[in-house]
Structure 1
Amino acid sequence: MNTLYATLGVQSDATLDEIKLAYRRAAMKWHPDRNPGREAEAHAAFQQIRDAYSILSDAEQRQVYDDVFEREMRRWEAEQAAEEAEAREAQEAARRAAQEHYEKMVAIAMRFADDGHTRDVLFGVLLGRDCEADLAGRIADSVWALHESRRAVDKAGVAPSPGAAPAEAEKPVSAFETFWQGMFRFR
């Protein structure tokens, strides 16, 4: 916000002599005759300087300006504070909504995992529930890993070591399957 004081380049508590000196300097700098090629810009700046000086050099007009400026600054600051508070409230509401959505998606994934569905089914269900793909993938991975670790604990009766792969269903493996898995690394 450009004030009349800023136009002349003085502080708001400047004396009349300081205002006169600042006016002379600014007038010399922005006089249209001293700015060839930039006459329109210089004329506008020179006019602002003259207007600022005419108000600030008159004690009564300066007092009125200071009072109005102070009142308007308080109003503007109050408006800014209200806008900032409104923006903070909107951000908090968006954060709460995102948290609620996340919790809802985790609950859905947990329910489907408890029903015995695979990680890919969890992922697909979450996508079908308007969950973003990245978030759906993270939730499906986490819930599936949790579900598999619980299943491993239930089967073995002990907790798996950290970083261990989820246990697969125990079934007898034939010699052919062992050979096949060793050669091609899949079932």
Structure 2
Amino acid sequence: MDLFNNDQLNLFGAPKNLLPFDGEVLLYPHFYKEDVFTRLVEETPWKQDKMKIYGREVNFPRLTAWYGERDEVYVYSGVVNVPVKFSPLLNSIKQAAEQQCGHRFNTALLNYYRDGSNSMGWHSDDESELGGNPVIASVSFGASRVFQFKHKRQKNAKVSVVLNNGDLLIMQGQTQHHWLHQVPKTSRMLGARINITFRSIG
């Protein structure tokens, strides 16, 4: 089962679930109207994390930043993230996302994809700190990129959606239990993109 692009959306009412089963993913196109991409690039304390592959250290294929209301340390892929305090701009985006999905967030992970060669591999946001059925709100700014899902057991179940500037994607329910997601590399000439994923820890 393959679903592609934004065909599953009802643009004149509540969004449809993009997943066929075992989870809930909702897309709100052009959710955040203000163009803040340049401000995010300039105001964010980006860092270049590294990971070990076969004993060799390599750079993550993107830049990252971790924000939190308190001292919520977040560990993924062996990287320990100590939070920076929320900026007024991030607080504004967070509050808009909270109002839309009716859930409060206290942390945010920012990813900066500088071109099509930058990517995020297959993974689930299923760390114990996020709780059993986490609600994750993801807001995109800048160039459009493909965002993909695949089921952990039913290998033919795949979903692909294009995320554009200002789009809000909400992952909730049992999504992280049953589905992996990624931002794949592409050889196409693309501009830069920033993704903000708001989460609740603790």
TM-score by length of structure 1 reads 0.16
Q: Which has the higher helix share?
A: 1
TM norm structure 2: 0.16
More strand by share: 2
Structure of greater Rg: 1
